[in-house]
Amino acid sequence: MPQLIPSPWFLIMLLTWTVILTTMLLKTSLYEPTNNTPPKPKQAQHNSWDWPW
């Protein structure tokens, strides 16, 4: 019954996926997005004016 004795590649694959998933989980859970957008410029104040005539 060869199904009861898996080849060592199954264990290697299982350990590899465990390491990859754990690494990705830690990277995504500890990720803090940075806000590098420059601040909005202040709008120049325009005084109202009338036509000269």
Tell me the percentage of the chain whose pLDDT exceeds 70: 83
State the Cα torsion 9-14-15-21 to the nearest 10°: 140
Between CA 44 and CA 46 the distance in angstroms is: 6
The whole-angstrom separation of Cα 17 and Cα 23 is 10
The confidence score (pLDDT) of residue 15 equals 94
Tokens of 48: 């109202």
What are 8-24's pLDDT values in tens digits?
888 889 999 999 999 99
pLDDT tens string 1-11: 456 667 788 88
DSSP string for residues in 1-53: -GGGS--HHHHHHHHHHHHHHHHHHHHHHS------PPPPPPPPP--------
**What does the pLDDT read at residue 14?**
92
